[in-house]
Amino acid sequence: MNAFTTAAGAAVDVDFRTWATFAVIVLALALYATERLSIEVTSIGVICFLLIFFQFFPEVGPDGANRLDAIHLIDGFSNPALITVLALLVIGHGMVRTGALEYGARLISRVGRGRYWPSVTVVLVTVVVVSAFLNNIPVVVIFIPILQMLSERMGHPAGKIMMGLSFVAVLGGSTTLIGSGSNLLVSGALRQAGEVPFGFFDFTVPGLVLAAVGLAYVLLVAPRLLPDRESLASRIMARGHKYFLAQIAVDEKSPLVGMQAVGGVLSGLKDARLRMIIRGDRALRPPYHHLVVEAGDVVVLAASRDALARAEAIKPGMLETGATDGVELETETERMLAEVMVVPASSLRGQFIGRAGFQRRTRCIVLGIQRRAHMFRSQIGHIPLREGDVLLMQGHPDDIAALRNERDVVVLEGSSEELPALHHAASAGTIFLAVVAAAATGTLPIVGAALTGAVAMVATGVLNVAQAARALDSRILTMIPATLAMGLALQETDGAAFLAHGLISLVQGAGPAVVLSGFFLIAAALANVISSNACAVLFTPIAVGLAREIGVDAHVFATAVVLAANCAFATPIGYQTNLLVMGPGHYRFGDFPKVGMPLVVILWGVFSLFAPLYWDL
């Protein structure tokens, strides 16, 4: 057994259990970073090792009980943090699926004048301000689907900015006393140490300095470091950049009314090229000289699948071929898109869409047609089908699934996609706002509000059970309990105290500014391993002891704890919001140290330069 004496004179004893805990944490972080094994396998493997090891080598407490028995080590599976994150994923999926935030995305787009990065800047500045007064988790949950919508609408990968959303929310939360739970823990620990607790805005100025630097980093540097990684489904959808011939019947309420046609482009309709506008008995073809779309027109265009999906999501029934075999889809029901290809020897060869009986038989409507290396300049109903033609079809999920049994077509693998269930948007929005209000006002604890909201999403039909289950992320489900178990083992074996005090001893004896700088860096590094809350509890007593020893106001070092504990950017396990954005951003474990570690170093440097000037050290 080794003993280490702290600056306060307390002895910290470590033995082989501590070193075994250090070893398993280092191994787990290495496996997470390299992904030689899946995150799920690594996480469960860590828990299994700790269960077996501490069963045979128990960590016995003063009461004679094993403080690291199975009950304690697997307690993470019932931890409120895990339940909260999973429930919020379900709520977020409900918001995305119903398109409930489309209006918010359009509003932000208008503020940003239709440009992506100005719009994103508006979002992130708003997040910094709101996070100062609300818990970071609901703030991130609010803005994840908004950024997803903006990225989709403007053709940018969401992964370039999702990690930044988490980072600026955490930095915004470090500007006021109630911005983060770890802030309140530090203030409470100050009171226990006999110091005056923090006031509401006591560390707002240094917090804002770090938040401003972090915001600039997220906007200017982080997107260059993050890979352009999309989901497998997105890559399949985008493959080939197919454009479909489609028709839009323009009625009085159509968003196309008043749009101007210049050349072959229709203002306000992204990823689409005009082929023809049918007005009465006339067929108007490019080039157009500032022609304005009127109610009653039929617009024939070549558009990407995403553009057609957006149009159909915004106004169900907007797309029509004029030849649907009398098939009408209910707009207030589940709808899906899928691509099918006309096979050789198909009975559809040479047939016109509206006369083949195919749509009536399948109860699915053809929205568009694509023929490789051929540009159509006629209406869909006037085009005879050929083998190899790809049809974009819309129908009820059961009918889309039944297309796999059709002999005349083959469903292209990976092409099925749910359309937003707009008829549930009001329900989803109401549930979402109720959850945020209940959590923000303290009417319910966050875990209670989130879990109730997730259940309400299913109970009201916004999501079915299968859809809710698909929203859950198995990496989060296993990683949070594993990291909580490692953190518990590190604390109970005195490993955390040993490491913290050992590192602090390296900067003792130097000037106040150097000690404060080194203290910040050490606390920030450990916050990425043992969580920000554990860091706050562990380092505040050390901060008070150091401050008293060198004759500096304890609030200076306590502020360093607040800011350092909120620098948990280098791993996804450091802060819950990092785990929230892993799925939407399609991130791997290694993406976080690649982007987050430079940010931690930059913030440390800024704090080290700013603190001596601000506190006159």
CATH assignment of the domain containing 302: 3.30.70.1450
Q: What is the pLDDT of residue 238?
A: 47
pLDDT at 371 over 50: yes
Q: Is the dihedral of CA 526, 172, 88, 115 positive or negative?
A: negative
> Are 125 and 173 in the same domain?
yes
376 or 58, which is more confident: 58
Nearest in space to 312 (alpha carbons), one of 366, 377, 231, 370: 366
| CA–CA dist 287, 296 (Å, integer) | 21
Burial code (b: 16+ CB inside 10 Å, e: under 16) for 210-243 equals bbebbbebbbeebbeebeebeeeebeebeeeebb
Q: Which of 505, 615, 488, 601 is nearest to 558 (CA)?
A: 615
Sorted by sequence, the CB contacts under 8 Å of residue 1 that are 6+ apart come out as 13, 14, 15
Is residue 460 in a domain? no
Query: From CA 355, how far away is CA 336, in angstroms rounded?
Result: 23
Q: Is residue 227 assigned to a domain?
A: yes
What is residue 607's predicted lDDT score, i.e. its pLDDT?
A: 95
Question: How much is the pLDDT for 205?
Answer: 93
Nearest Cα residue to 110 out of 127, 97, 122? 122
Claim to verify: residue 407 and residue 331 sit in the same structural domain:
yes
Contact 524, 600 (CB under 8 A): yes
Given 384, 419, 454, the domain boundary residue is 419
Looking at the chain, the whole-number percentage of residues with pLDDT higher than 70 is 80
Q: Specify the pLDDT at position 325.
A: 56
Please report, as a single letter, which amino acid is at residue 579: L
Q: Is residue 450 part of a domain?
A: no
> Which pLDDT does position 377 carry in this prediction?
59
pLDDT at position 119: 83
Peptide bond into 420 cis (omega under 30): no
What does residue 4 show for φ and ψ, rounded to 5 degrees? -125, 130
Q: Is residue 222 part of a domain?
A: yes
Alpha-carbon span 417 to 405, nearest angstrom: 18
Task: Quickly state the pLDDT bin for 239 (edges 50, 70, 90).
Answer: very low
Residue 246 has pLDDT above 50, yes or no: yes
pLDDT of the residue at 236? 45
Reply yes or no on whether the pLDDT at 316 is more than 70: no
Distance (Å, rounded) from C-alpha 424 to C-alpha 405? Answer: 30
Q: Are 136 and 543 in contact (CB under 8 A)?
A: no
| N residues, the chain | 617
The dihedral through the CA atoms of 145, 146, 150, 153 has a sign that is positive
- Quote the CA–CA distance of 383 and 318 in Å, as a whole number: 21
pLDDT of residue 233: 44
**108-114 CB contacts, 8 Å cutoff, 24+ apart:** 108/146, 108/150, 109/150, 109/153, 109/154, 114/154
**Inside any domain, residue 443:** no
- 398, 419, 440 — which closes off a domain? 419
pLDDT of residue 104: 59
Q: Which domain holds residue 35?
A: 2-231+473-615
Query: What is the amino acid identity at position 399?
Result: D
- 260-263/288-292 β-pairing: antiparallel
Say if 538 falls within a structural domain: yes
Give the pLDDT band of residue 7 (cuts 50, 70, 90).
Answer: very low
Tokens describing residue 368: 């568009």
Shared-domain flag, residues 215 and 325: no
| Antiparallel, parallel or unpaired: β 298-304 and 2-5 | unpaired
**Residue 376 contacts residue 369 (beta carbons within 8 Å):** yes
95, pLDDT greater than 50:
yes
Looking at the DSSP bridge assignments, the partners of residue 291 are 261
In angstroms, rounded to a whole number, what is the distance separating the alpha carbons of residues 610 and 617?
Answer: 10
Mean of pLDDT values over 301-328: 64
Asked if 173 and 263 sit in the same domain, the reply is no
**Least reliable range by pLDDT among 78-92, 309-323, 389-403, 545-559:** 309-323
Q: Which amino acid would we find at residue 160? A: K
Spatial separation of the C-alpha atoms in residues 88 and 451, rounded to whole Å? 8
Show which of 385, 419, 453 is a domain's final residue.
419
- The mean per-residue pLDDT over the stretch 458-462 comes to 88
Over residues 407-420, mean pLDDT? 76
| CA torsion, ordered 439, 442, 448, 451, to nearest 10 deg | -10
Q: Are residues 139 and 270 in the same domain?
A: no
Q: Are residues 286 and 371 in the same domain?
A: yes
Tell me how far apart the alpha carbons of residues 498 and 4 are, in angstroms, rounded to a whole number.
Answer: 7
DSSP state of 291: E
Burial class (CB in 10 A: 0-12, 13-18, 19+), 366: buried
pLDDT average, residue stretch 349-358: 77
Give yes or no: residues 227 and 267 share one domain: no
Place of tokens 């630097």: 213
Q: Return the C-alpha torsion angle 133, 138, 142, 148, nearest 10.
A: 120
pLDDT (0 to 100) of residue 206: 94
pLDDT value, residue 143 = 82
Return the sign of the alpha-carbon dihedral for residues 211, 215, 216, 217. positive
508 or 187, which is more confident? Answer: 187
pLDDT number for residue 263:
66
pLDDT in tens, 555-612: 999 999 999 988 989 888 778 788 888 878 888 888 999 999 999 999 999 999 999 9
Query: What's the pLDDT tens digit per position in 268-281?
Result: 666 677 777 878 77
Mean pLDDT value of segment 482-506: 73
- Distance, in Å, from the CA atom of 310 to the CA atom of 417, rounded to the nearest integer, reads 12
pLDDT higher than 50, residue 235: no
Higher-confidence residue of 614 and 256: namely: 614
pLDDT-based confidence at 335, cuts 50/70/90?
confident
Q: Residues 25, 53: one domain?
A: yes
Asked if residue 375 and residue 305 are part of one domain, the reply reads: yes
| d(C-alpha 285, C-alpha 379), whole Å | 12
pLDDT band at 155 (very low <50, low <70, confident <90, very high): confident
My answer on whether 226 and 257 are in the same domain is no
Bridge partners (DSSP) listed for residue 12 = 4
For residue 106, the model assigns a pLDDT of 62
pLDDT digits (tens, 9 = 90+) for 12-65: 567 888 888 888 888 887 787 677 788 789 889 989 999 999 999 888 878 888
Q: What percent of the chain has pLDDT over 90?
A: 12
Residue 440 in domain: no
436 within domain boundaries: no
pLDDT at 603: 95
Q: Which two tokens stand for residue 475?
A: 């990496």
- Cα–chain-centroid distance for residue 83? 17
HSE at residue 122, side-chain half, CA atoms within 13 A, is 19
Specify the pLDDT at position 253: 74
The H-assigned helical ranges of 155-238 are: 162-173, 181-192, 204-220, 222-225, 232-238
pLDDT grade, residue 9 (50/70/90)? very low
CA separation for the pair 92, 197 (Å, rounded): 36
- Asked whether residue 69 falls in the same domain as residue 175, the answer is yes
- Report the run of H or E that residue 96 belongs to, with start and end: helix 80-98
222 and 262 both lie in a single domain: no
3-state SS, residue 337 = strand
pLDDT of residue 4: 47
Rounded Cα gap, residues 370 and 339, in angstroms? 10
192-206, 454-468, 473-487, range with the lowest pLDDT: 473-487
For the chain, how many structural domains are there in total?
Answer: 2
